[in-house]
Amino acid sequence: MADLNKQMTDFIEYAGKEKGYSIHTIKSYSNDLNRFNQFMKSYTNNLNWTVNMVDRQTIRHFLGKEFEDGFSSRTVARRLATIKSLCKYLHKNGELNINPAAEIKTPKTPKTLPVYIREKSIEELMNCPSDSTLTGIRDRALLELFYSTGMRLSELVNLNLGDFNTAQQCVRVFGKGQKDRLIPYGNLAKISLENYMVKRGIHFIKGDPTEPCFANSRGKRISTRTIQRRVNMYLRQISEGSSLGPHTLRHSFATHMLERGADIRALKDLLGHSSLSSTQVYTHIQPEKMKEIYKQSHPHGE
């Protein structure tokens, strides 16, 4: 009988190395499988349970227990997705004769609209960083590029000079599953980036292509946490809300593009979404905007 710990370890390795999932996703997988492992030890009264003991009813009992423990439907849905991925992997490798998770329906999760800032607030946001310090100049370039491209935070962190085609004003990013895509960026982002490179004493075109695009005070690649902290600080200067963060700029990019008539399929490619359903969440914002315009414009709108 195959060793369960080795099976889970192999699966996590497969997800990280072959599927190219992010560190965040790998941590979530590990946490979810640890929860399931603890549940199975108690459920089977066997510390050395095997995956062949898992059936559809077992998984449903686990999901029910997670709900009883107060976890949200979003978290429980993610736990199921992890178990499904594990079972699919083991079934494909011949370690499970039947995939017990294949037909289990995902719990319904409440749809939440993406948090974004109004277009008229963008200029105010870009003027928040100081233009008299290297950190401020870096942050301005970071905000401009973030909003200009709508890329993910992880993609922004990992940018190198060699990823830029300055002549075409495009940047190559590596997204989920190590899929790369080209995203154009605007003139304001171009000017801010060039200004930042000049202040760093780095030649954008002739510099080392492996040099991090955004660096800390020691010249090392800026951390995800630093970007989160800096972007949150600037957003709170112009807006209120507990959900503000780096993804607010990605959401703002997508929302403003659609408001100005962008094709949703083109937007899907720019955002790096694998399916159109992920992009369609932004279309739900449009009725809210139309209501606002109606209230402001119609004589009896109020």
Task: Enumerate the active-site residues.
Answer: 152, 176, 247, 250, 273, 282
How far is 176 from 218, CA to CA, in rounded Å?
29
CA neighbor of 164 nearest in space, from 126, 201, 202: 202
